[in-house]
Amino acid sequence: MKKTTLLFAAILFSFAIHSQQTTSFETSEGFTLGNVNTQNGWSSTPIGADTFIENQIISDENSTDGTFCLKIVQETAFGGQASQIVGAFYDYTTAVSYTEATFSADMNIDTFDSTNTSDYIFGLVNLTDQVFITYIRFTYEGDIVVLADDGTGTGTVDLIDTNADWTPLTWFNVRMELDNNSIEFFIDNVSIFVGIVATTMTNIEQVRFAHDNYSGFAYVDNFRTNDEDLSVANFAANDFSHFYDTDVKTLNLDSPNNLLNSVEIFDVLGKRVMNTTLSENKVSIDVSSFKDGIYLARVLTDTGRKTLKFVKH
């Protein structure tokens, strides 16, 4: 088991970026080899007033395309940390709306073992409230876990195992699709978890690529914000309505302009509890056999997809 050491301060800063963009860390974008801190709105972990760690870098050792990428690595001046605070941060001057947003990056992470390597996160932060909205963590044991609401109805958040694994020393794409309070995580376009974000109704002000400062490294390339083709486009809200009927325990869906193709329902731990194929505009789904609690329904129509939350009680 990893030991826990004292954290050093992680001071928050604000820098400018656009709400839609791709960053590939190339010279054509104004990046140069070396310390990422202050390059094009990026910062590294602060260790005091106007002082930052220096070895979170723009590197030419690896890339998915082009020449450069971001490399986050152990800061040898400090020991291992209790949480993932060492790395590179990118802050938004104008917060990205939680109502519909997509964040993705290509990642390549060092090999793992059970004692000595780092956990790495790709996380979304609200600086105003100083909270993580959500993050995906790649553990030193090879697991993929996410920070999400635990579904107890108390607002408690927890790390939830997605039951997916990651492959070391191999490029893979990580994508988070945020739709109001729901979040879906993808690895190489394969959905691995659907859940409720840890902090709801909060816009995204910062993205973090960070680790807990044990041995190892991770490369990051092609970081995107709202700048890619989604797995399935979201459809307009006025094309669809839903409500949960507490009297008869049914989830009612109405899509007057487009056929409903399918409905998947997940509990808040990301487990799929129902998968139904449809071919109609209006349907009532019996959920009376479900345990009481919070559920997410992923609805697919001819024109797009919507993830909605309902409480069975």
User: Sorting pLDDT into bands at 50, 70 and 90, what band is 1?
Assistant: very low
Alpha carbon distance 311, 125 (integer Å): 26
Alpha carbon distance 10, 43 (integer Å): 11
User: Sorting pLDDT into bands at 50, 70 and 90, what band is 236?
Assistant: low
| Locus of tokens 């992923």 | 298
Neighbours of 61 (CB within 10 A): 10
Report the share of the chain in percent with pLDDT over 70: 89
pLDDT of residue 235: 61
**Domains in the chain: boundaries:** 21-225, 237-312
Least confident span in 47-51, 113-117, 204-208:
113-117
The phi, psi pair for 46, rounded to 5°, reads: -80, 145
Q: Span 237-312: which CATH code?
A: 2.60.40.3080
Average pLDDT over the chain reads: 87
pLDDT of residue 258: 86
pLDDT of residue 304: 80
Q: Is the pLDDT of residue 206 over 70?
A: yes
User: Sorting pLDDT into bands at 50, 70 and 90, what band is 12?
Assistant: very low
Q: What is the mean pLDDT of residues 253-258?
A: 89
- Residues 64 and 106 sit within 8 Å (Cβ to Cβ): yes
Q: What is the mean pLDDT of residues 179-197?
A: 91
Q: Pairing between strand 69-73 and 57-59?
A: antiparallel
Q: Is the pLDDT of residue 16 over 70?
A: no
Least confident span in 85-94, 119-128, 148-157, 177-186:
148-157
Least confident span in 25-29, 57-61, 69-73, 307-311:
307-311
Q: Is the pLDDT of residue 252 over 90?
A: yes
Per-position DSSP letters for 187-209, written without gaps between them = ETTEEEEEEEBSS-S--EEEEEE
pLDDT of residue 5: 41
pLDDT of residue 302: 81
For 70-119, the pLDDT digits (tens) are: 999 999 999 999 999 999 999 988 899 998 899 999 999 999 876 678 99
Q: What is the mean pLDDT of residues 228-246?
A: 72
Q: Is the pLDDT of residue 4 over 50?
A: no
Least confident span in 90-99, 108-117, 162-171, 218-227:
108-117
User: Sorting pLDDT into bands at 50, 70 and 90, what band is 210?
Assistant: very high
Q: What is the identity of the amino acid at 24?
A: S
246 to 22, 243, 263, 266: CA distances (angstroms): 44, 9, 19, 19
Architecture of domain 21-225: Sandwich (2.60)
Which carries the bigger pLDDT value, residue 221 or residue 231? 221
By residue count, the chain amounts to: 313
pLDDT of residue 247: 92
Q: How many CA atoms lie within 13 A of 214 on its CB side?
A: 22
pLDDT of residue 54: 92
Q: How many CA atoms lie within 13 A of 73 on its CB side?
A: 16
